Amino acid sequence: MRIKGSEILKYVLLGIGLTGLVLVAITAPNLFSALGQFTGRKGYRKQQIRRAFDYARKSQMIEIKKTPSGYAVMLTEKGKERMAKFRLGELELAKPKKWDGKWRVVIFDIPERYKLSRLVFAKKLKELGLAQMQKSVWVWPYDLQDEIDLMKEAYEIRPFVRLILAQNIDRQTDLLKFFNL
């Protein structure tokens, strides 16, 4: 089975990003094996991990700084953006057993120059299971603040998207039926 380089890069960035930084001893002959373990994925060869790591460094997605105890490896802003895009592919919304009786309303007015981002954002909202009330108005019955923040950053549309917490919506009967509440 062939493993794509972008998959390895994804786990290297996620592994570094989820902890904030990685400290590596000055003499770390098993650095790339350790990164393979660190990412939680087995079956990657050292050479594959090394290539993903080198690519991330050359592409300025990670930064390596010398410290008294070794080297610190951390994500740059570019690396954080790339990690957010990787996380979008795995994004799912939680559905708690008990509903708090409040609606989360996502509204957006994304300019034409960001048309692709607007289309992808709307498509992702639909894929996640939100109900569309109007062209740029979507509803969800549970908390989704973190997920919306992630999408705003990844699609670079933060200034154009709002999240409203509502207690009552005039089409509530239809929404209750749609979400099986």
- What are the residues whose beta carbons fall under 8 Å from the beta carbon of 102, sequence distance 6 or more? 141, 165, 166, 167
- Contact between 101 and 167 (Cβ < 8 Å): yes
Quick: pLDDT tens for 62-100.
Answer: 887 777 777 777 777 888 777 777 667 777 888 888 999
Give the tokens for residue 110: 């994304």
- Contact between 60 and 76 (Cβ < 8 Å): yes
The enclosing H or E element of 108 equals strand 103-108
Global pTM?
A: 0.60
Domains, the chain, ranges and CATH? 5-89 (1.10.10.10), 103-178 (3.30.70.240)
At residue 47's C-alpha, the angle toward residues 69 and 89, to 5°, is 90
- Contact between 59 and 72 (Cβ < 8 Å): no
d(CA 119, CA 115) in angstroms, rounded, equals 6
CA neighbor of 131 nearest in space, from 148, 106, 151? 106
Alpha helices in the chain (DSSP H): 5-19, 31-38, 46-58, 77-89, 115-128, 145-154, 172-178
Each residue's pLDDT expressed in tens, for the chain with a length of 181 residues: 344 556 666 666 666 665 555 555 444 444 544 454 444 445 566 777 777 777 778 888 888 777 777 777 777 788 877 777 766 777 788 888 899 999 999 999 999 998 988 998 999 999 999 999 999 999 999 999 988 988 887 788 899 999 999 999 988 999 999 999 9
* Residue written as token pair 């998207």: 161
